[in-house]
């Protein structure tokens, strides 16, 4: 499946402007043959918006989600968009996947919050593995810091995820996450990972870009620079199957030895 990665911060604080950016990107991606377009973390509202997180948060089926569904249906492309989700009194850092006809396929809430800003404004989710079927692939969802925990990605591997979507807001001084950690995660878990970052400075945060679609061989199928960019790359089921047949990591696991890992705390 040809997958498009929208490396963009859009216009922080304006949902309407970001929907326009998404619409234009969806049109370009669909014209290039992509079946899926993935945005960065909290794309619909912006990341560094302080207390506006609560003001702009919407339900998973709110007006912004309806607008995204219309964009998907208009361009006949699946969309994965980051946004702050309102659920009662809680606000979650969320990711929603919609099909090319606008149907909601999956909703994920970030489970591992990073830093004081996120801990102040968001409630962590409690579902480690969220998946959907799309164009013959099992697509899994994580957000940013989640992918830095090997347990999260391994759980997806064991659940059969083929393509892991990871919208992110990776900032200085952590370029090694995009350059090294994400491709290694893809290799050790035998999957594709679409890691889609923001770009440029927002308030106190300086986002790195460096979005990547990493393959199960640990090689980047596409890699962005530091600015706004629309990447296109293939997540090939046949190549994935061949890689899994040749790589013994998951077959050679010895789960009986690992139980203490979940019981050891700091």
Marked catalytic residue, from 41, 58, 85, 202: 41
Marked catalytic residue, from 58, 85, 118, 144: 144
> Is the peptide bond between 101 and the residue preceding it cis, with omega within 30 degrees of 0?
no
* Host H or E run for residue 71: helix 63-75
Number of H helices, E strands in the chain: 9, 14
234 is catalytic: no
Marked catalytic residue, from 110, 118, 148, 202: 110
Concatenating the DSSP letter of every residue in 137-204 gives EEEEE--GGGGGSHHHHHHHHHTT-SEEEEE---BTT-HHIIIIIHHHHHHHHTSEEEEE--EEEETT
228 is catalytic: no
Neighbouring residues of 106: CB distance < 8 A, sequence distance ≥ 6: 96, 97, 130, 131, 132, 139, 141
120 is catalytic: no
**Active site residue ranges:** 41, 110, 144
């Amino acid at each position: 499946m040809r997958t498009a990665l929208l490396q963009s911060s859009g216009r922080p604080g304006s949902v309407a402007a970001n929907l326009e950016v998404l619409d234009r990107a969806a049109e370009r991606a669909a014209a290039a043959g992509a079946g899926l377009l993935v945005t960065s973390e909290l794309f619909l509202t912006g990341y560094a918006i302080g207390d506006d997180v609560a003001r702009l948060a919407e339900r998973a089926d709110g007006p912004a989600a309806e607008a995204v569904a219309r964009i998907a249906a208009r361009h006949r492309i699946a969309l994965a968009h980051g946004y702050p989700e309102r659920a009662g009194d809680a606000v979650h850092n969320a990711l929603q996947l919609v099909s090319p006809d606008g149907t909601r396929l999956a909703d994920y809430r970030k489970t591992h919050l990073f830093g004081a800003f996120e801990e102040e404004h968001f409630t962590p989710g409690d579902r480690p593995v969220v998946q959907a079927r799309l164009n013959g692939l099992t697509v899994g969802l994580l957000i940013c810091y989640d992918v830095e925990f090997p347990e999260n990605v391994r759980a997806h591997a064991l659940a059969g995820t083929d393509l892991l979507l990871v919208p992110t807001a990776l900032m200085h001084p952590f370029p090694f996450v995009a350059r090294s950690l994400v491709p290694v995660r893809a290799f050790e878990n035998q999957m594709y990972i679409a890691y889609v970052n923001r770009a440029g400075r927002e308030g106190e945060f300086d986002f790195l870009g460096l979005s990547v679609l990493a393959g199960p061989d640990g090689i980047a199928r596409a890699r962005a620079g530091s600015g706004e960019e629309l990447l296109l790359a293939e997540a090939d089921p046949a190549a994935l199957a061949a890689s899994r047949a040749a790589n013994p990591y998951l077959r050679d696991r010895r789960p009986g030895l690992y139980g203490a890992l979940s019981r050891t705390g700091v």
